Structure 1
Amino acid sequence: MPDAVTVVGIGADGWEGLTPAARAAVESSEVLMGSTRQLALVPAMDASRVAWPSPLSEALPGLLREHRGRRICVLASGDPTFHGIGTTLVRLLGADAVHVIPHPSSVSLACARLGWPQHQVQVVSLVTNPVERLHPHVQPGRQLLILSRGAQTPAEVAALLDARGYGSSEFTVLEQLGGPSERIRAARAASWSEDVDALNVIAVACQGPALSTAPGLPDDAYENDGQLTKREVRAVTLSRLAPVPGQLLWDVGGGAGSIAIEWSRHHASCRAIAVERDPDRAKRLERNAATLGAWVTVVQGSAPAALDGLESPDAIFIGGGATAAGMFDACWDVLKPGGRLVTNGVTLETESLIAQWYKAHGGDLVRLEVHRASPVGTMTAWRPAMPVTIWSVVK
């Protein structure tokens, strides 16, 4: 790898917007790397120009090795350490080997144009993420700044907002921020239908119904065939799983996917792998995850065999198939130290196994009974749901 790389942030204002230090870094380079658009913003000079190939993540280490020993300057959009290549280079080379000269980010420029307080804005990148990733952030009163993948992203975002009941949200598209072709247009999300430049940022002042990210969404938020961990049990189960930002959950016997989905909705960096043997349920689970904007990978197959080769989890929920031979051992063996395992049981057979595991490994054992009010003639009475035994343990 090269001894050091300089990363220069550049905006739509191009060469004219660079500081003297940034210009000096570009002019003194022997190799200038960046996207075709970014390289076109810099005047001709002696440095060799290398346009990013696709996919960049796979090619970048080889490019750096190829030009080792030469002064490398990398061009990046805006602030290179804000959803930019600067963080990728630091991860590859280490912080000491990367010198960053930032430019105002598109978020800074957008907030300046809109008069929004930057520390209160939620930034969501759709550069490499599907538009459904917006769902957990769409809440009444929130101010969202969305980094677009391209010219089609505003229309996709507007359609998602309208479908969620947020069509009345203030919807602003800011194009070519900081450059001579800068343009800002506003409308309601439901009425957005404009063509835009590929270099754009979307601002949304959300107006619509709330859908909490706290555990225990209404049962009717999920498309299901009855294979669903019910709302009250789900909330208790997730409290035992204890989601932590950046961690991975296995939801074994995913059903409608409610546990995996609400784990992932806890924080944008929470991930889940849901294993479901029934192909129709697996497809339904994928639809639920997309609708609710959860980061869930669905594996269609029978556990424990389907667990082989999966990334080791920080937490495991066994919601189905607990009585399958070797299920508990297969899960316990790969669970990370400090990880949480939770199993729910409603049948005598599953409860018998849970009792054995509890005796061997300790943990916390709870029996949950829920009664719901329902009409009896002209009056109201309590109807009990099946009691659920919840075992949770920390490895």
Structure 2
Amino acid sequence: MLTIAGSGINLYSLAEVIEKVQCSEFDCLVTDINFDTPENRKLLPANLEVNFLPFKEIRLFIKEKYLQNKKILYVVTGSPIFYSATKEILRYLENEIPEFDSNRVNVLPAESSKDYILRKLNIPESEVTALSLHGRDFLDLTKFLTTKYTFLLCDEHSLQKIADDTRFIQDDLIFYIGSKLGSDDERITKFDLHKATKEMSLEEIKQALVPYVLLIERKYDISQTFSNNEDFETNAGMLTKTDKRAITIQSLELQPNLLMWDIGAGSGSVSIDAYKIFKIRSLLFEKN
């Protein structure tokens, strides 16, 4: 039997898990090596097999114990249903153990970092899109900045990636940082991201901010103001340049922060209109 529980929002503490789970009912507990602290060890029953392991070893450990019919408690940071290792663990077990049924896994949710920071800032969840840059090289631009707020799970390299991707529209954005959430050093505040990336080294970011999340508020509206193509077809006379630009931009299916190459840009009016509506980046080419 496998139970996956979230630790909630704290700095690698098992206290919340201990409050809602009877650890004595399990044969073993496994969790990330960052949870290996004297405080956590004091919370656990002496007769419980406890393992603090790197993620790659956790998968193998759970597989072995599952095949031995052991009752396993796996603790993840935050919530097990929000960008946690849960999905990858279940996929791994399904591939490795033919009889494994993920529907029989007991998942105990907890507050996620997104839930926590939205509660602190009084922001409705309906206005937020959540993405993860943790361990990733690129943003999903089909979702980035598509709602008023974009929540980002981050690692120590994420600040520079976000700074690079928003350098042309930084004045149209408000950045909030949630650093060391749930700890005595918690910090939730507006944040000058571009200034920080210029002034802080990677090591300074690790020491001062990690672990952290970002919330980006979009100050502009990307709702399309185009008419349907049929409206243009019924207009009397020839299409105006403004109409043609609108049809062209509409057909491109642009998203915020995408890079558009404007070949034969002329006065740049297409790029200007595209930026006004979608906040894209443009490279303009025109022969002298």
The verdict on a shared fold, with TM-score over 0.5 as the criterion, is: yes
Deviations 1:140-161 (A, max 9, x none): 762010011x223223313321
Determine if the alignment matches structure 1 residue 192 to structure 2 residue 193.
no
User: What's 1:221 paired with?
Assistant: 260
Partner of 1:51: 52
In 1, Cα distance between equivalents of 2:28 and 2:78: 20
2:26–2:73: 8 Å Cα contact kept in structure 1? yes
Q: Which amino acid in the other structure matches residue 16 of structure 2?
A: G
Give unmatched runs, 5+ long, in structure 1: 225-230, 232-290, 293-395
Contact 1:9 1:79 in 2 (8 A): yes
Q: What is the correspondence of 1:283-362 to structure 2 with a 5 Å cutoff?
A: none
TM-score computed with the length of structure 1 as normaliser: 0.47
Report the Cα offset of residue 72 of structure 1: 1.0
Matched with 2:175 is 171
CA distance in structure 2 between the aligned counterparts of 1:128 and 1:211, rounded to whole angstroms: 32
Change (3 A) 1:27 1:202: farther
CA contact (8 A) 2:28 2:70 kept: yes
Instruction: String of CA shifts for 1:341-386, please: whole Å, max 9, x gaps.
Output: xxxxxxxxxxxxxxxxxxxxxxxxxxxxxxxxxxxxxxxxxxxxxx
C-alpha offsets along residues 177-210 of structure 1, whole Å, 9 cap, x if unaligned?
2233311232244333453432211110024696
Does the C-alpha gap of structure 1 residues 179 and 210 become closer, same or farther in structure 2, counting only changes over 3 Å?
A: same
Q: What residue number does 2:28 align with?
A: 31
Q: 1:144 aligned to 144, 150, 160, which one? A: 150
Whole-Å separation in 1 of the counterparts to 2:177 and 2:105: 33
Deviations 1:37-71 (A, max 9, x none): 13436224433333343546xx72x3223222222
State whether residues 132 and 153 of structure 2, in contact with CA within 8 Å, keep that contact through their aligned partners in structure 1: yes
Taking structure 2 as the reference length, what is the TM-score of the superposition? 0.62
Task: Check conservation: 1:77, 1:84, Cα contact below 8 A.
Answer: yes
SS at match of 1:177: coil
**CA–CA distance in 2 between the matches of 1:39 and 1:81?**
23
- CA gap 1:159/1:27 in 2 versus in 1, 3 angstroms: farther
| Counterpart secondary structure, 1:111 | helix
Q: State the partner residue of 2:230.
A: none
Q: Contact (CA 8 Å) 1:175, 1:183: kept in 2 or not? A: yes
What's the counterpart of residue 8 of structure 1?
5
| Aligned with 1:64 (options 51, 62, 87) | 62
AA at the equivalent of 1:43: R
Equivalent in the alignment of 1:205 = 217
CA drift of 1:33 comes to 1.3
- In structure 2, relative to structure 1, the CA distance for the partners of 1:100 and 1:209 (3 Å cut) is closer
Shift of 1:74: 0.4
The number of residue pairs the alignment matches comes to: 217
Is the 1:10–1:76 contact (alpha carbons within 8 Å) kept by the matching residues of 2?
Answer: yes
Taking structure 1 as reference, are residues 141 and 217 closer, same or farther at Cα in structure 2, changes over 3 Å only? closer
Q: Which has the higher strand share?
A: 1
In structure 2, the CA distance between the partners of 1:155 and 1:136, relative to structure 1 (3 Å rule), is: same
User: Any idea what SS the aligned residue of 1:43 has?
Assistant: helix
* 1:155 paired residue among 157, 160, 166: 160
2:4–2:86 CA contact under 8 A, matched in 1:
yes
% identical aligned pairs: 14
Report the Cα distance in structure 2 between the residues aligned to 1:107 and 1:115, rounded to whole angstroms: 12
Per-residue CA deviation, residues 83-132 of structure 1 (Å, 9 max, x unaligned), is 112333444343343111121011100101111111221000112322x3
- Change over 3 Å in CA distance of 1:202–1:124 after alignment to 2: same
> Which amino acid is the alignment partner of residue 216 of structure 1?
L
Is it true that 1:133 corresponds to 2:139 in the alignment? Answer: yes
The 1:110/1:117 distance shift into structure 2, 3 A limit, reads same
The answer to whether residue 100 in structure 2 is matched with residue 99 in structure 1 is no
Counterpart of 2:142 in 1: which secondary structure?
helix
Structure 2, unpaired ranges of 5+: 95-99, 225-248, 264-269, 271-280, 283-288
**Structure ranking higher on relative contact order (CA contacts 8 Å, 6+ apart):** 2
Could you list the runs of 4 or more consecutive aligned residues of structure 1 that deviate by over 6 angstroms after TM superposition?
Answer: 211-214
Give, in whole Å, the separation in 2 of the partners of 1:42 and 1:165.
44
SS for the counterpart of 1:159 is helix
Q: Which residue number corresponds to residue 117 of structure 1?
A: 124
Distance 1:21-1:138 versus aligned 2 partners, 3 A rule: closer
Q: Is the 8 A contact 1:5 1:74 kept in 2?
A: yes
Residue pair 2:31, 2:75 contacting (<8 A) in 1 also: yes
Q: Measured at CA, do residues 208 and 190 of structure 1 come closer, stay the same or move farther in structure 2, by a change above 3 Å? A: farther
CA distance in 2, matches of 1:49, 1:109: 28
CA distance in 1, matches of 2:132, 2:78: 14
Select the residue among 179, 184, 195 that pairs with 1:180. Answer: 184
Residues 10 and 27 of structure 1, relative CA distance in 2, 3 Å threshold = farther
